Amino acid sequence: MTKVVLSTELEAELAAIRRDPLDAVGFGEKAFLPYELRKGEGLVRSRDAVVTARLASEASDTTNDRVFRLVMLQVMAYRDDPAVDPALAGAVGDPVIGGLASYLVGRIGFKGYPARARVAAPLLRALAPHLDDAATFDDPWYQKRYRVGDLALGAFVRIAGPDRFRFTDPQDATYVGYTVLPPSDALRSTLLAQARAFVITD
C-alpha cells in the first residue's frame, strides 16, 4: 500500500520518532494521565487531514517496529480530527496494538486530549467483542502487562457514559477509562455484567 507523503517537516518528525520510538512518549503526571508526548507535536497540530491517514497507515503496518506502531496511536489520539476515532476503532482488533487503541478510544476530551465530535455507536460496537479479552497489552513504557479486556471495558463505559452504569464508589465513575491500571475484581465483574447487557443504539 502506498503511504501518503507529508511535508518535509512532518516527515522529519516521523523519522525522529522511528529512530527512537520509546523516547517519543513519556510518563504523565497522574495515574489517570499515564502518558505524555515528547515528540510529534507538529503531527498533532497539523490541520491537514492526510496526517491522520498516514499515522493510521503506519500504525497498521505490521512490518513496522511494535513500539513505533504504538506511538502512531498515541500521536493520533491527540489530533483534533474526526477521522481519528474510526482509525483508532479500526485498530482495536489488532492483536499487537489493540489494547492501547482501546484505551485511547476512551480518552477523548480529558487532560489535553481534544473533545472531537464523535458518534458513539460504532466505537461501542468495536469495543464490545473485546470486553472479555484475556490477552495482554505489553506496555513498553511502564514495562507492565495490562489486560486488553480491562482497557476495552474502561473505554466502553466512558463512551457509553458512566452515569448509565452503577458504581459502589463514585470515584470509580469519575476516572473509569482514564487509567490503564486494572480495576478491582469486584468492579470488573459488575461493570462487565452491565456492559454486556448494554443496548447500543444509533
pLDDT digits (tens, 9 = 90+) for 121-160: 999 999 999 999 999 999 999 999 999 999 999 999 999 9
Query: Within its chain, how far is the Cα of 104 from the centroid?
Result: 2
pLDDT at 1: 60
56 within a domain of the structure (yes/no): yes
pTM of the entire predicted model: 0.95
1 within a domain of the structure (yes/no): no
Give the chain's domain count.
1
Pairwise CA distance, residues 104 & 113, whole Å: 9
pLDDT at 82: 93
3 within a domain of the structure (yes/no): no
pLDDT at 118: 84
Domain hosting residue 193, numbered range: 8-197
pLDDT band at 14 (very low <50, low <70, confident <90, very high): very high
Contact call for residues 84 and 52 (beta carbons, < 8 A): yes
Chain-wide mean pLDDT for the chain? 95
Instruction: Give the CA distances from residue 78 to residues 35, 43, 91, in Å, rounded to whole numbers and listed in that order.
Output: 11, 9, 16
172 within a domain of the structure (yes/no): yes
Q: Which of 16-25, 30-39, 76-85, 96-105 has the lowest mean pLDDT?
A: 30-39
22 within a domain of the structure (yes/no): yes
Residue for grid cell 456492559: 195
Contact call for residues 72 and 25 (beta carbons, < 8 A): no
How many percent of the chain have pLDDT more than 70? Answer: 100
202 within a domain of the structure (yes/no): no
pLDDT band at 11 (very low <50, low <70, confident <90, very high): very high
Contact call for residues 71 and 17 (beta carbons, < 8 A): yes
87 within a domain of the structure (yes/no): yes
Biggest distance spanned by C-alpha atoms of the chain: 52
Q: Residue 2 above 80 pLDDT?
A: no
Instruction: Give the CA distances from residue 16 to residues 6, 9, 20, in Å, rounded to whole numbers and listed in that order.
Output: 14, 11, 7
